[in-house]
């Protein structure tokens, strides 16, 4: 994905863009009726009784304004609830929700359409035929509003709930992970180790502090082709960087303008993004679980649910060979990038939960069951990590649990996996 396409997708995904688009369509729809009125016979216009459009538009204008204000206030309350009960990092997924954007844009667009129609009617722009066209369009819009309201009311019952938010994070994490599995090195050549970078390479540093949200691999590849060099990406999406940390290395010297071209290929923001950063989804899931295990919340059930979600996400990695094709694996021959490490994903997800839930037997047992399920995937690295975390989990539990019976249950649940070592 190019840098400009990334910015475009960010813009299209924002609420203001969709609402503005619906507003423009509403204005065009209201005014285009004037043009098509010439094709409507006068006798049909009088038969239908198009004068009713005045009252319908007034009803739509007043009701849609109220519905829009109500929907916005409900969404703000849902975002606040998600921030308090789940984690602030998950709120962005709710803010970017397409169904919410579509509903609000439909309501706002209908309001604008009604206002434009009322103004045009009061100005006498429409004739009898024009009013008839406006009447037909208004009926279609009313039908759309009815279906949108039905879906919206059903959706509001789930918006901001803990379970719904966890589902959104899971979907974002799996989508990002599947995209990385399809292009394991984001289309570049595998950089197996930092030692593979030539010692005479020149470091490229960023000019600000932040998280890498996106890398335009196509731009890096084009630059490498033009200058006949190789580029070694050091910092992948999700990495916290600063002006003293190299984000890439190049084969030979370039001027300041060329160096800026490489820097521009790395989009840096104030927070991490789910799109190119599969680990971020696991980090947010672990935050949800640890908050649920805090003394202030004390909700072990949510933590158990999150462990199951993490199991599904990590199980996707075991099936990564099914997502990779030889044609797609390497697209940029002059760009090298490191791989996503399952070790880091285990640490992102299991380590915080294991620490927060060490004194709760139910959490320890469910962790052992999840690790055993991962062990059965057959992936050698996953099996090794699953057994390592199982042993660590038992050690934490023996130090934190008070009852001998709870310790025995934990050891029993981990015995099958540990004995396989």
Spell out the domain ranges in the chain: 3-160, 170-179+275-324+340-419, 184-269
Q: Which CATH superfamily is domain 184-269 in?
A: Pyrimidine nucleoside phosphorylase-like, C-terminal domain (3.90.1170.30)
370 pLDDT above the threshold of 80? yes
CA proximity to 215, closest of 233, 201, 228: 233
Q: Could you give phi then psi for residue 252, rounded to 5 degrees?
A: -150, 175
- The percentage of the chain sitting over the pLDDT mark of 90, rounded to a whole number, equals 23
CB burial readout 1-24, b (16+ within 10 A) else e? bebeebeeebeeeebeebbeebbe
Contact 362, 304 (CB under 8 A): yes
- Model confidence over 143-152: pLDDT tens digits? 988 998 888 8
From start to end of 242-381, where are the E strands?
248-250, 266-269, 332-337
Query: At 46, is the pLDDT very low, low, confident or very high (cuts 50, 70, 90)?
Result: low
215-233 pLDDT, tens digit per residue, is 988 889 988 888 888 999 9
Calculate what percentage of the chain has a pLDDT beyond 70. 85
Predicted confidence band of residue 327 (pLDDT cuts 50, 70, 90): very low
Q: What's the whole-number mean pLDDT along residues 301-312?
A: 93
Q: What pLDDT digit, counting tens, does each position of 277-291 carry?
A: 889 999 999 999 999
Contacts of 14 (CB under 8 A, 6+ apart): 96
Flag whether pLDDT at 6 surpasses 90. no
Distances 166 to 24, 29, 283, 312 between C-alpha atoms, Å: 35, 39, 12, 13
Q: Which residues pair with 269 in a beta bridge?
A: 211
Q: Where are the alpha helices (DSSP H) in 123-246?
A: 128-156, 162-182, 217-227
Report, in this order, helix, strand and coil percent for the chain, each rounded to 5: 70, 5, 25
**Cβ(334)–Cβ(191) below 8 Å:** no
Give the full edge-to-edge strand order of the sheet including 210-215.
240-241, 210-215, 266-269
As given in the structure block, the two tokens for residue 92 are 């962005």
What does the chain come to in residues? 421
Find tokens 């309350």 and name the residue.
Answer: 77
Q: Say what the pTM is.
A: 0.82
Read off the tokens for 91. Answer: 């709120």
Alpha carbons 336 and 190: distance in angstroms, whole number: 6
pLDDT, position 101: 80
CA pair distance 101, 83, nearest whole angstrom: 19
The Cα-based distances of 255 to 229, 232, 237, 258, 286 in angstroms read: 14, 18, 26, 5, 44
Burial class (CB in 10 A: 0-12, 13-18, 19+), 261: middle
Residue with tokens 């609402």: 19
Average pLDDT of the residues of the chain: 83
């Amino acid at each position: 994905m190019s840098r400009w396409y990334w910015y475009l997708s960010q813009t299209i995904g924002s609420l203001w863009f969709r609402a503005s688009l619906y507003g423009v369509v509403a204005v065009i729809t209201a005014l285009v009726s004037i043009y098509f009125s010439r094709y409507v016979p006068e006798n049909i216009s009088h038969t239908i009784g198009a004068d009713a459009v005045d009252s319908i538009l007034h009803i739509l204008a007043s009701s849609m304004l109220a519905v829009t204000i109500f929907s916005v206030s409900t969404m703000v309350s849902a975002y606040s609830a998600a921030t308090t009960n789940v984690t602030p990092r998950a709120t962005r997924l709710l803010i970017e929700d397409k169904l919410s954007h579509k509903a609000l844009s439909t309501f706002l667009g209908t309001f604008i359409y009604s206002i434009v129609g009322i103004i045009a009617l009061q100005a006498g722009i429409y004739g009898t035929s024009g009013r008839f066209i406006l009447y037909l369009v208004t009926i279609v819009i009313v039908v759309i509003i009815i279906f949108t309201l039905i879906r919206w009311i059903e959706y509001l019952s789930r918006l901001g709930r803990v379970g719904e938010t966890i589902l959104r994070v899971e979907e974002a994490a799996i989508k990002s992970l599947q995209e990385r599995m399809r292009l394991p090195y984001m289309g570049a050549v595998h950089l197996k180790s930092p030692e593979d970078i030539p010692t005479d390479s020149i470091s490229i540093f960023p000019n600000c502090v932040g998280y890498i949200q996106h890398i335009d691999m196509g731009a890096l590849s084009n630059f490498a082709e033009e200058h006949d060099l190789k580029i070694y990406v050091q910092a992948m999406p999700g990495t916290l960087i600063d002006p003293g940390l190299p984000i890439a290395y190049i084969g030979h010297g370039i001027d300041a303008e060329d160096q800026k071209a490489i820097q521009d290929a790395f989009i840096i923001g104030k927070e991490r993004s789910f799109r190119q950063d599969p680990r971020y989804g696991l980090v947010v899931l672990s935050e949800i679980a640890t908050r649920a295990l805090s003394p202030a919340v004390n909700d072990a059930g949510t933590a158990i649910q999150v462990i199951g979600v993490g199991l599904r996400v990590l199980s996707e990695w075991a099936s990564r060979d099914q997502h990779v094709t030889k044609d797609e694996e390497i697209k940029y021959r002059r760009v090298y990038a490191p791989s996503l490490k399952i070790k880091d994903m285990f640490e992102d997800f299991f380590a915080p939960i294991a620490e927060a839930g060490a004194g709760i037997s139910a959490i320890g047992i469910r962790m052992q069951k999840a690790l055993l399920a991962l062990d059965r995937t057959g992936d050698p690295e996953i099996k090794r990590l699953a057994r390592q975390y199982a042993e660590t989990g038992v050690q934490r539990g023996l130090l934190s649990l008070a009852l001998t019976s709870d310790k025995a249950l934990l050891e029993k649940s981990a015995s099958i996996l540990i004995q396989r070592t």
